[in-house]
Structure 1
């Protein structure tokens, strides 16, 4: 089978850094943080040990109409906003509905709908539970919302692989297009889990930073004082299509999606394999399956959640893959600015990787004051220009359950 070139033609996002992709990118380059104190009464009433998060910069109610807000879980609301922007950014292409496919992702799904409905049932009885509760809480709700909005009849697929979810969706999109199942795939992920229960649970497992006094500096990947991640919310969408299809309609191309790969640790439900062998295998496959050389990789958007164990495990995997060449690779950890969007993290980081290649500038990692000597990476802390020529980059995502997903991009 002839290998097709797969490209990115549209990007959309709503994140803690901005209500659209442009603002999110500009604020990332400016070194801003999306983390802030939670002003909701429940944060204090429930005595949560962590009372801050990286909340969406623009409320969904400011963008969507009232009916959409009422009938969609926040995870689907974020998804719809990002997908609509990406679609318009791609030029709102005319495509046979049966050749348009959605491959979306979430780590948790409609947690707000589920828990609000449970509270309603207990406090007010079954007659007050909304009829749309189940469609709203389903993990495939975001994919369905996008599919109905764009009229996609080629399939509405949903990946739920914890924090690797939306990177896996992009890897799937690549495979769908190579297999000829679609002409265009809308791929990405969303998460809306800034709710007391996930916050309490993540805090109980010592996964979250507890820097309540200064949220903006709480997420600090690779720093010796890192103490956990900052929970984020939002979504990102990428329009993915064959180069042939994109060129035929005169589309602007951000980058080539060179390939993707998925592996698993089979090690522990929450902890990564400290040796990083399966994660390394995913990185290698994402590059080599696309016919490229590991020595051509110049940039990595790392998973880098700011947890003491996770950051070192990823470094071990990177060193296993790239060896001495790792010293020549510019690494950035954008969760320092956005927080950790769980199932949506991979999509926004893939978007940032494609934009880095398109604009030929690597966004910075903020809050790195004292780099851990056990992680001797070339971490970009101020925007850094990328050179000219053919450039390769990868974006890593790893999730609870030992899920590993990596996508590789080439400048176009």
Structure 2
């Protein structure tokens, strides 16, 4: 408003150069104004009237941006959703650091839960955990970095590189990949707790004593970032932190990058190392942990009687998958372990730590995951449940499973946490590996310590004390986290 015709003519000449620049809405608005020969809305604006000016600003931006949005929508390509397969697995767990060793220990019913040895926990009411007793970063992490990094990062990088090795993605093979289409999406619920705690202790003396990397090494995203830097992978790279549902969130989001054509290869999963005094003390303060210290291997007992089931057992480790676009995997001759079908997220919107009393969010999550995967509920014959051995959580999930799948005699349900404890943000990662291994081997692992099942539970659905033969058609893996975060992901044999 108020510009001369000559000035407007200059704006007209600039049109070609700003045609697709949405950051110049006012310039484009003025051009539109001249073309339509309409009177500027500012004419009736009173000077100093903030309300009128704001109204005009909204009109100008709306007029300027609306045509651009339509153009973008018209240009959007109709891309067929691409298939995603699993071509690599890497684990660091209390039951072994190799996918086959880990799963064989699960099939044999071995427990990885024992007394904590890393620090003195004699003054804590809980003194047991799924603790990793031996672990080496040799050949996986540069020694100089391994001395400064938090354990969660060491577990993450090691499991990630083991997944690459397991998937045949050697350095020679990786050199031939388009690194702009390879990404890393590995999350953590707790992040670098020990690095941060050590920094606080050092600060008591002087800030000069603090680890110069304490801030980046404490953040949940830095594990993914450093692994991507090491590999030179320039595709999607970030982390997600949704408490105990972290791994599933990362896996589904990584798969979606591939499905949408934004990446060809993704490393994804989760890692956590919460077994330090502040981590143990925090969960004790929540009254969430089992105190069955006299018999650690019996402490984690999903779906067992409430009188015996007194809380979950903490664990630590990492679980990482290599997800790959199907044709990309075929082209390089990769071994395909399973196909990733889809998944879903929902929120209970109810309580920080307790599940919704009706299990509404869980039920909705499973149903949405089936819809996203294009799978009929009758096709699901194996569920790796979240089941942490808590009094409320186990039954709410069981009720949701029954609500979704009914009385299906083919359905088998188990909980990996009965043997590993709860690896927090890494739980979904190692449980995804358990699902894939069940598909590969035709065996599902037992439910340890299911001695006196809750009366409302149908023991015919739950796997017993021994491994069972099961030709998995479709496997569902659930993970739920503090904050009401629900996630379900599905895998199937590749056909």
Say which is worse superposed, 303-312 or 92-101, in terms of deviation: 92-101
Pair 1:115 & 2:186 matched: no
| Cα distance change on mapping 1:88 and 1:251 into 2, 3 Å | same
| Cα distance change on mapping 1:274 and 1:62 into 2, 3 Å | farther
Kept in 1: contact 2:348–2:484 (CA 8 A): yes
1:234 offset after TM fit, Å?
Answer: 0.3
Match of 1:105 in 2: 187
Pairing 1:149-298 to 2, within 5 Å after superposition: 149-224=230-305, 225-298=308-381
Match of 2:456 in 1: 374
Match of 2:114 in 1: 36
1:226 offset after TM fit, Å?
Answer: 1.1
Whole-Å separation in 2 of the counterparts to 1:192 and 1:141:
14
Pairing 1:357-372 to 2, within 5 Å after superposition: 357-372=439-454
Say which is worse superposed, 196-205 or 256-265, in terms of deviation: 196-205
Match of 1:385 in 2: 469
User: Could you say what secondary structure the match of 1:260 adopts?
Assistant: strand
Kept in 2: contact 1:190–1:236 (CA 8 A): yes
1:287 offset after TM fit, Å?
Answer: 2.0
Whole-Å separation in 2 of the counterparts to 1:3 and 1:130:
46
Whole-Å separation in 2 of the counterparts to 1:19 and 1:292:
32
Say which is worse superposed, 65-74 or 153-162, in terms of deviation: 65-74
Q: Deviation per CA, 1:195-239, whole angstroms, max 9, x where unpaired?
A: 111211212222100011111111011111111111000001100
Q: Which has the larger radius of gyration?
A: 2
Q: Deviation per CA, 1:309-333, whole angstroms, max 9, x where unpaired?
A: 10011012112211233x4310010
Match of 2:93 in 1: 15
Which of the residues 47, 55, 71 maps onto 2:131?
Answer: 55
Kept in 1: contact 2:341–2:373 (CA 8 A): yes
Match of 1:5 in 2: 83
Say which is worse superposed, 92-101 or 127-136, in terms of deviation: 92-101
Question: Runs in 1 of length 4+ with deviation above 3 angstroms?
Answer: 60-65
Unaligned 5+ runs, structure 1: none
Kept in 2: contact 1:60–1:78 (CA 8 A): no
| Cα distance change on mapping 1:41 and 1:111 into 2, 3 Å | closer
So what's the TM-score if we normalise by structure 1?
0.96
1:76 offset after TM fit, Å?
Answer: 0.5
Whole-Å separation in 2 of the counterparts to 1:168 and 1:39:
31
| Cα distance change on mapping 1:373 and 1:403 into 2, 3 Å | same
Kept in 2: contact 1:283–1:406 (CA 8 A): yes
Match of 1:134 in 2: 215
Which of the residues 212, 216, 228 maps onto 1:147?
Answer: 228
So what's the TM-score if we normalise by structure 2?
0.80
Pairing 1:325-364 to 2, within 5 Å after superposition: 325=408, 327-364=409-446
Identify the structure with the greater strand proportion.
1
Count of residue correspondences:
406
Whole-Å separation in 2 of the counterparts to 1:175 and 1:162:
21
1:59 offset after TM fit, Å?
Answer: 2.1
Match of 2:58 in 1: none
Which of the residues 73, 76, 80 maps onto 2:153?
Answer: 76
1:283 offset after TM fit, Å?
Answer: 1.1
Q: Deviation per CA, 1:289-347, whole angstroms, max 9, x where unpaired?
A: 1111111000000000000110011012112211233x431001010111100000001
User: Could you say what secondary structure the match of 1:103 adopts?
Assistant: strand
1:61 offset after TM fit, Å?
Answer: 5.0
Say which is worse superposed, 48-57 or 226-235, in terms of deviation: 48-57
Whole-Å separation in 1 of the counterparts to 2:119 and 2:280:
14
Whole-Å separation in 2 of the counterparts to 1:296 and 1:236:
26
Kept in 1: contact 2:137–2:158 (CA 8 A): no
User: Could you say what secondary structure the match of 1:26 adopts?
Assistant: helix
User: Could you say what secondary structure the match of 2:291 adopts?
Assistant: coil
